[in-house]
């Protein structure tokens, strides 16, 4: 990678992961507090990504779901909007220590998506790919979590580009690095494949309550 300011930031975050920075050692497995250990509440919404924020027009947008599924599919924007829409409210927690409460999301549930593609027996992992080349991995079980959705709106407005519009994933039970912005492809697999931050020292899971920040 060339030594751009962005690649310096990536190297710095990788070094923090190696050093276990920000870990408080006080897991809150009972969720006694609403704020996970080591987090602070913000009311704004910080932007974090690799510094490339792809502009994907609705006319060009496509989402492919493939891999270990009986019915792989590609949705263009009208196909996506034709799916049943849900709303859900969740808190988000970033590994860089900020949390934001009560985010209203609208979009299509991951459970609905899975019912369409029908994962094959043995499918156990999901790799999320963004239009910017970013990726992250979650287990199929976590991907299918209650409040997980493909979100096109946040707090009653279309998701803007910096936060991953037209469409991003939301996996509220994990740190936000798993919630891939500018979602392009959902790959369902039998074996795992660690994503961008997971190969750079971040935890393979990412539960904020037990501070699964780094591995």
The residue within the footprint of ligand MTE, chosen from 63, 65, 69, 94 (CB under 6 A), is: 94
> Is 213 a binder of ligand MTE (CB under 6 A)?
no
The answer for residues whose C-beta is within 8 angstroms of residue 208's C-beta and 6 or more apart is 36, 37, 39, 93, 99, 174, 175
> Is 203 a binder of ligand MTE (CB under 6 A)?
no
CB of 121 vs ligand MTE, minimal distance in Å: 30
- Closer residue to ligand MTE, CB minimum distance, 71 or 158: 158
Q: Are 93 and 39 in contact (CB under 8 A)?
A: yes
| Integer-rounded Cα radius of gyration of the chain | 17
Distance between CA atoms of residues 26 and 208, nearest Å: 11
- Closer residue to Mo ion, CB minimum distance, 48 or 124: 48
Residue found under tokens 């019912």:
115
- Closer residue to Mo ion, CB minimum distance, 48 or 144: 48
Distance between CA atoms of residues 97 and 22, nearest Å: 8
> Is 28 a binder of ligand MTE (CB under 6 A)?
no
Q: Are 142 and 124 in contact (CB under 8 A)?
A: no
> Is 214 a binder of ligand MTE (CB under 6 A)?
no
Of 136, 74, 85, 80, the C-alpha closest to 109 is 85
Distance between CA atoms of residues 152 and 164, nearest Å: 9
Q: Are 122 and 158 in contact (CB under 8 A)?
A: no
The residue within the footprint of ligand MTE, chosen from 9, 12, 15, 47 (CB under 6 A), is: 47
Q: Which of residues 180-199 bind ligand MTE (CB under 6 A)?
A: 180-182
CB of 210 vs Mo ion, minimal distance in Å: 18
CB of 12 vs ligand MTE, minimal distance in Å: 13
Q: Which tokens belong to 114?
A: 């899975």
> Is 61 a binder of ligand MTE (CB under 6 A)?
no
> Is 93 a binder of ligand MTE (CB under 6 A)?
no
**Number of residues that make up the chain:** 215
- Closer residue to Mo ion, CB minimum distance, 11 or 76: 11
- Closer residue to ligand MTE, CB minimum distance, 179 or 212: 179
Residue 159 contact partner, candidates Mo ion, ligand MTE, none, CB within 5 to 8 A by sort of partner: none
- Footprint on this chain of ligand MTE (rule: CB under 6 A): 45-50, 94, 130, 132, 134, 163-164, 176-177, 179-182
């Amino acid at each position: 990678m060339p030594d751009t300011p962005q690649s310096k930031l990536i190297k710095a975050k990788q070094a923090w992961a190696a050093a276990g920075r920000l870990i408080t050692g006080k897991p809150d497995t009972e969720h006694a507090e609403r704020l996970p250990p080591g987090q602070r509440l913000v009311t704004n919404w910080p932007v974090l990504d690799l510094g490339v924020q792809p502009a994907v027009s609705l006319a060009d947008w496509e989402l492919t779901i493939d891999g270990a599924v009986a019915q792989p599919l590609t949705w263009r924007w009208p196909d996506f909007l034709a799916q049943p829409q849900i709303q859900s409210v969740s808190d988000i927690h970033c590994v860089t220590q900020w949390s934001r409460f009560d985010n209203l999301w609208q979009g299509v549930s991951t459970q609905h998506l899975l019912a369409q593609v029908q994962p094959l027996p043995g499918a156990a992992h999901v790799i999320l790919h963004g239009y910017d080349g970013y990726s992250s991995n979650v287990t199929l079980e976590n991907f299918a979590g209650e409040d997980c959705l493909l979100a096109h709106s946040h707090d009653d407005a279309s998701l803007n580009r910096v936060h991953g519009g037209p469409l991003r994933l939301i996996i509220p039970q994990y740190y936000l690095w798993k919630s891939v912005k500018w979602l392009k492809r959902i790959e369902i697999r039998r074996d795992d494949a660690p994503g961008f931050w997971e190969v750079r020292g971040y935890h393979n899971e990412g539960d904020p309550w037990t501070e699964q920040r780094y591995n």
